[in-house]
Structures are given as C-alpha cells and as structure tokens.
Structure 1
C-alpha cells in the first residue's frame, strides 16, 4: 500500500452519526496527502462466474427429438407399404377379371421335323430331248440380236445360257425324228438350224413352300412331255400363287410368256430352262 495515503480510524458508537464537517475534512486530508490528486486508482474487479450447468436437459431433449423422428419415419413406411399392397390387390383383381375365360397357351418352338418338312430336296432324273438350234454365241447380246431377227420372221425362239455360252433354240421334240421335221419346216423359210440332243435337269436342288409343290407338278409334265396339256386355268392358278408367295421364282417368266399355239414346243423348252435355273 502507498505510504503517502493516510488512514483515519475513528471509534464511535454504532448509532452515533458522523458529523458532515468531519467527512468533508477527512476527504480534504486524503486529497492533500495524495501526490496524484487527478488520477483515479483502478480497483480490480472480481469476476464471479456462474458454475457450469450440466447439459442433461439438452441431451434429453435431443434424444426425445430423434425418437419422434424414428416414430414418424416408421409410420410413413408402414402407411406406404399398406397402400402399395392395396393397389397391388386391386390390379390383380382387375387382371383376373379381364383374363377370365381365356386359356393361356404357351408358345411352342417348332421342332426340327417341322422345319425340315418346309424344305423339299429334289433330285429328278435328267430328261433327254432333241432341240432345234438356230445358233450359238459367246455373248448374250449377240444371241438376243439374232433372236430379234427370228421374231421379225414370226419365228419364236429362246436363249439358253450354259457353260458361258448362249444357245438360240427355235424348237424341241421328244424324238430326233420330230425335231428333224421342225428343222425342215424352218429350212423351207430360209432359216438354217441344227438338231442336237440335249439333257435337262442335271443336278439337284432344294425348295420350300409353294415353289416346291409347283416344281414337282411341272416335273411330271416335263418328263412326260405333256406341258402343252396344261390348261390355261391351271397355268393362271400356278402363276398367281407364285407371284404372291415366291415372287422371285424363275418359273414365273415362262408361265407369263406362255404361247397358246405352240407348234414347236417352245413352252416345254422354257419351263425346262426355268426349272434348271431353280436348281442352280
């Protein structure tokens, strides 16, 4: 404590009042003895802190909040499951009513036998005939040019391609004698021809559907040389069926170019050529 400061001690009774002039005099004496009259001494302030409170209530509140959230989430989950189950039951009921009386037939996979039946393998016997040849050429263009000359003379003919050569035929016959008669008639019209043996339908092939049926039907007429006996109604029926089911069949062309008067058996020759092309 500073030595310049004075402390005045007065002993009085508890109930006795201190005269005001003495209080003033005491203050003046203290002020006179203080070398720093204008300086106010700082009195340290004692900070009293409240004791740390336990967070028991807060934790209890947080626990209660989590509990409420879990209950709310569980309730929402149970409600959604219940609604989903109810909707599923309604859908199943509607489906059962819609399909009532209808028999469900499982899809069947076609067996190998059924697939094989759709494809017919053919290996016909070669048919021997005699053809009336009007020329042989190395290019199709030249063969077609010569064919146009015969057409201008009212003589029907066709081009047959084999082994990279193009043959121009003006008729066919089952025997060499019949073929020679056709050649003589053409020679009388100044058309030189040559009779030669010819083998058709060499080899084998496979067909499916309507084309296989038509092939077998035409083979019978071809082997018996009876193509001319095919009626116009039967030909139209075959043509209509092939155009619908087998539009790329080579047999369509000879059926379309069918000649009503066929003295030189060109219909037979055209059908034989188309069937051979089908087997390639």
Structure 2
C-alpha cells in the first residue's frame, strides 16, 4: 500500500491533480495553489454575472390576449370614425368650393338697375316705346252707373249663347268678367228710371231682365304721372257723356290725341276707343264698352 494516490483538486472549475503520501496526507504545492486562487478571484471580479429572472408565462399570455381582444373589439369603431372624419373633411371642402364659386358668380353678374321715380329710360329701338321706369302708385276714383242685367254665368260660352236673344232685339250686350263670373249687361243708363222702358219692352217679349247699380271700386294702380292724369281726364269725360247721354266727338278725339305713347296697355285701350267712337253703336253701349276696357287695363296693371 505504499503506492501514492493522486488527488484531484478543482479550483474555479479546473481540475488539478495532487499527490498523496503513504500516510494519506495531501501534498499541496502552496505556491501553485495561491497563484491559482488569486487568478480565480481576479477572474471572478472581471466577469459580469448574469442574473436570470423567472417570469410567469401564463400571466403574460393572458395580458397579451386581453389587449388583442380589446383592440379587435374597438378596431371597427376606430376605422369608422377615421373614415367619417376623412369623408366629412372632403365633403366640407367640396361644399365650400361650390359656395365660393356660387358667390363669385353672383358677384360677377351685372347689376340690374331698378326703376327710380323721376328717371326716364330711352325709347326702345325696335318698338319706339319708352319703358315705364318712373311709375308711382295712384288711386283711381270709383265709377258707377245703372245697367240692365240679362244674367250671370259661370262660363263665357254660356253668356255668349244667352246674348243672342238680346242681339235679335237690337241690343249689343257686353260680357263683363268679374269675380270669376261672366255678367251679361244689355245696356246702361244714368239712373234706374231711365232703364224702365227697356225692361218693360223686353218683358213683353218674354225676356227677363232687371236693373242693377253697377260699380267699380276705387283702385290703386301703378302708372306714370302722365298716364294717371290722362286716365283721370278720361273718367271725367266719361261721366259727362253719361250725364248728357251723348258723345262729343271733338272732345273725345282730343282726348285720344293726348294719350301717352309709352304704355302698351294704354295704347291698346286707346285703339279700342278709336274703334268704338267711330262705330254706329249708341252712346250707352260705347260708354259701357269703354268702362269695361278701362277696368281690364287698370286691373292688369296693378
């Protein structure tokens, strides 16, 4: 048993074999051991130790899954909001562009001069008639007389059909439209008593008629000062002719000559005056037709 056994000493993970003597003591080379220990300590100081941390993988997985689930839940809403904001911005820009262009078009449109009282516009090159730019509102007096009424109808055709029997008796009835009805007026006088002979004559022939106080009310009309003055003169001459029961041809012709030339409506009325005054109708029928025509003109021009 004198053989020496080898003893392995490990320093810092490195094996080192040492010899043992017969007595079992380990013979260690102190110098070598000291150097190795010093080297080991120096190595351990220079080495950066890595610390491992244990994580609960189940907790991490659960938290990640929850975040993903929440994101997927709100993802459509977020996308919808972003889309709505984008579309709204685009539409707002387009509408703003349209409004700006519309305003520019309006501002670029030449202004139309409004009629101002006292100003006059030049004559029209084609028609030679001046436009009415200085019209004002005036009140026309009412007119009245007694008429012989032959009926009231809802259509002009029925009124014309009924007028035939009065034409056969030598009358020239006037169909007057008023309040959407058609009145058949056979003749006219200044008083109810003046109509009595006509009433009796027609009744003897089986034709029913009756006297009626016919009136046109006071009206506000838009006319030039010249037109208004002329219409007033016409009303005065009309009343004088009704009172006298005759037509003063010279006075009426002078009134026609004084008629304003710039009004289309009055020009048409003056033309009718000329035709009626040269007709063979009696005074009352001429005056009744003139009255009806004037009422139509002033009603249209209101």
Q: Could you say which structure has the greater relative contact order, defined with CA pairs below 8 angstroms and 6 or more residues apart?
A: 1
TM-score (normalised: structure 2): 0.47
TM-score (normalised: structure 1): 0.50
